[in-house]
A and B are shown apart, each in its own frame.
Chain A
Amino acid sequence: MSAYLLRRLIVAAWVAVTVSILAFALLRMSGNLAEQLAGEDARPEQIAEVARQYGLDQPLYIQYLRWAGSALQGDLGQSLFTNEPVTQLISERAGVTIQLALMSTAFALILAIPLGVLAAVRANSWLDRLALGVAVFGQAIPNFWFGLLLILLFGVTLQWLPFVGSDSIWHFILPTATLGLTVMPSFMRITRSGMLDVLGSDYIRTARAMGLSRFSVLFKHALRNAILPVVSLVAVTLGFLLGGSVIVESVFALNGLGLLAFQSIVRADFPVVQSIIVMVSFAYIGLTFLSDIINAWLDPRIRLA
């Protein structure tokens, strides 16, 4: 198992380095940084001075190493727009996005696992078709539009829920439902197909034949094995949601990382954009590595491979 995890760790490290290089390149592609830092009507001497000051006249690889070095020490530079340290900007907003990601994933799981199990147990019944229908619906609906529809229905017509800002837990319900619906179908499909595989296997049929109750077979034996791929998917989804909540955050004016990224993109504040991309990627890499550990622990076949 340690060999397996060590291999995964090496891959993860390589990927992380590559991502940071790409993010660094993105910032360089975005335009002449020195000009932006010096201000709009700076003279060429001033721009050159700024470039010297920030080390922008150095070769690219030295710039990258410096940037990566200070990033490792928690210094991601500062916003071109507000001049605040990027680290501070991000840490202020991350909470909202993490909360939203966790709630949406939980929402999706609560909906998807029972639905997926039922669909598998009653394969090809009306229940299975309904579950499939929900999945097709969730996959096809544009989430910004679904968010607006929820606002119209629950926020305006029924006036049950608030829909602007992130002041209370109630503010999170509509965004959670919106994001949850987009990620739910994959959870449901994977639960269903995992259950179908397990239910068709010999040991479950043996367990049934030995007289274990239907409930116990389903939930104690089958689900535990069917859930393995769901673990990986949860990690992937959480990682995706950290970067994928841009749209929902701007529909519901949630002041999270996504909105910060969006605003920064609009006002060409690329040091912030770059940092968010790196942070989200690293979170994804960390989460998938975590799921590798969990899977290795749950599944002896991987552990011993």
Chain B
Amino acid sequence: MTETVPDTVLECRNLSRRFDVGGMWRGQARSLRAVDDVSVSVRRGEILAIVGESGCGKTTMSRMVLGLLEPTDGSIVIEGQPLAEIDRMRMSRSLQPVFQDPYSSLNPRHTVAQIIGMPLDVHRIGTSAERKARVRDMMKEVGLPGRFAHTYPGQLSGGQRQRVAIARALAVNPRILICDEPTSALDVSVQAQILNLLLDLRERLGLTYIFISHDLSVVQFVADRVAVMYMGRIVEAGETAEVTRRPRHPYTQALMRAVLTPEPGLGLPDLQLQAGFADPFNPPPGCHFHPRCAQAMERCRVEAPIRLHDDHGDVECHLYGNGGQRKL
């Protein structure tokens, strides 16, 4: 997945982020690898989903892609230009976020019109009358009636708020949206509406999405391609249909089993994994997943698997490839 396809709009190359936490004396500082050597690329017009449990590093990744966090290592290339060389104003016109919690993502002291108009204001786009018209258009675009222009976020439902957040993200005509769990804080019935809206907008505006989620059942419906993340690393990636039909990494398999339980999408599923959460400060040696893996072998405890690549996608697991029991 690392070779650049001409149509690639966003690419992460060997992206890493370390956090140093703790005191300043006697080596109390511990470091946490939130994102560890991640390489993915997104093609124009597609929806790439990044899936994993909370704490796997997906939010750290989205913050880095948004330029809100410096990578410790590696680089991000947006539309052929390294992120580090793009100034924030220009970058924000190609890339915008939609956050998970529509309660904290909207300034409670601003009206809906102020919130949606904020990016236009920051970018000094148009006259104030033109901005007003643009805000009205955006509200129509996301299905918000015009009379909501002068209400405050506190007056709206979760779904309405998320529409406001989407309208704000679209105000400056970005080409890529980073959606960080855009529906996980919403009621199930509202989730469908917001997902439909996002798909609809992609069609009409020709958008590209990076869709971050812990919920494979949602991802299954929206994403063209999936990258599964575990403890900062991408352990499997490929076409959504391929990955969901034939998951190869034991972790993906566990996630898929959870989707097939009677109540998909209700919170984090019981993964039927061997052990509890691993301590991200002390990642287990070898394959990070081995303490929870039902198929772990001796080799997994000592040697980290390397990334294997074929037509169906990428996987990082000792079960496959050289010395592995199974064929890719």
Q: Which A positions have Cβ atoms within 8 angstroms of B?
A: 3, 6-7, 305
- Which residues in B have their C-beta under 8 angstroms from that of A305? 23
8 A–B contacts from the bound complex (CB under 8 Å): A3-B23, A3-B24, A3-B25, A3-B26, A3-B28, A6-B25, A7-B24, A305-B23
B239 to chain A, nearest CB (A): 48
- Which residues in A have their C-beta under 8 angstroms from that of B28? 3
**Contact code string B130-149 (vs A, CB < 8 Å = 1, else 0):** 00000000000000000000
Which chain B residue shows the least CB distance to A4? B23
B30 to chain A, nearest CB (A): 14
Q: What is the CA–CA distance of A225 and B251 in the complex, to the nearest angstrom?
A: 44
A2 to chain B, nearest CB (A): 8
Q: What is the CA–CA distance of A33 and B215 in the complex, to the nearest angstrom?
A: 77
Which chain A residue shows the least CB distance to B26? A3
Q: What is the CA–CA distance of A155 and B23 in the complex, to the nearest angstrom?
A: 58
Q: What is the CA–CA distance of A3 and B28 in the complex, to the nearest angstrom?
A: 10
Q: What is the CA–CA distance of A127 and B253 in the complex, to the nearest angstrom?
A: 62
A8 to chain B, nearest CB (A): 13
The prevalent SS among residues of A at the interface is helix
Q: What is the CA–CA distance of A305 and B28 in the complex, to the nearest angstrom?
A: 10
Q: What is the CA–CA distance of A285 and B24 in the complex, to the nearest angstrom?
A: 24
Q: What is the CA–CA distance of A6 and B25 in the complex, to the nearest angstrom?
A: 10
- Which residues in A have their C-beta under 8 angstroms from that of B24? 3, 7
- Which residues in A have their C-beta under 8 angstroms from that of B23? 3, 305
Q: What is the CA–CA distance of A17 and B26 in the complex, to the nearest angstrom?
A: 27
Q: What is the CA–CA distance of A7 and B25 in the complex, to the nearest angstrom?
A: 10
Within 8 A of A (CB), among B5-27: 23-26
Contacts A3-B23, A6-B25, A305-B23 supplied; 5 other A-B pairs, CB < 8 Å: A3-B24, A3-B25, A3-B26, A3-B28, A7-B24
B224 to chain A, nearest CB (A): 46
Which chain B residue shows the least CB distance to A6? B25
Which chain A residue shows the least CB distance to B28? A3
- Which residues in B have their C-beta under 8 angstroms from that of A6? 25
- Which residues in B have their C-beta under 8 angstroms from that of A7? 24
Which chain A residue shows the least CB distance to B25? A3
Q: What is the CA–CA distance of A33 and B62 in the complex, to the nearest angstrom?
A: 64
Q: What is the CA–CA distance of A107 and B28 in the complex, to the nearest angstrom?
A: 44
Q: What is the CA–CA distance of A278 and B23 in the complex, to the nearest angstrom?
A: 33
- State the 5 A-B residue pairs at the shortest beta-carbon distance, nearest first: A3-B25, A3-B23, A3-B24, A3-B26, A3-B28
Q: What is the CA–CA distance of A305 and B24 in the complex, to the nearest angstrom?
A: 11
Q: What is the CA–CA distance of A108 and B24 in the complex, to the nearest angstrom?
A: 40
Q: What is the CA–CA distance of A266 and B25 in the complex, to the nearest angstrom?
A: 50
Q: What is the CA–CA distance of A43 and B209 in the complex, to the nearest angstrom?
A: 86
Q: What is the CA–CA distance of A182 and B209 in the complex, to the nearest angstrom?
A: 61
A11 to chain B, nearest CB (A): 13
Q: What is the CA–CA distance of A6 and B28 in the complex, to the nearest angstrom?
A: 15
- Which residues in B have their C-beta under 8 angstroms from that of A3? 23-26, 28
- Which residues in A have their C-beta under 8 angstroms from that of B25? 3, 6
Q: What is the CA–CA distance of A305 and B26 in the complex, to the nearest angstrom?
A: 13
A115 to chain B, nearest CB (A): 36
Q: What is the CA–CA distance of A305 and B22 in the complex, to the nearest angstrom?
A: 8
Q: What is the CA–CA distance of A7 and B28 in the complex, to the nearest angstrom?
A: 15
Which chain B residue shows the least CB distance to A3? B25
A304 to chain B, nearest CB (A): 10
**Contact code string B89-101 (vs A, CB < 8 Å = 1, else 0):** 0000000000000
B125 to chain A, nearest CB (A): 47
B23 to chain A, nearest CB (A): 6
- Which residues in A have their C-beta under 8 angstroms from that of B26? 3
Which chain A residue shows the least CB distance to B22? A305
Q: What is the CA–CA distance of A305 and B23 in the complex, to the nearest angstrom?
A: 8
Q: What is the CA–CA distance of A35 and B168 in the complex, to the nearest angstrom?
A: 69
Q: What is the CA–CA distance of A183 and B28 in the complex, to the nearest angstrom?
A: 41
Which chain B residue shows the least CB distance to A305? B23
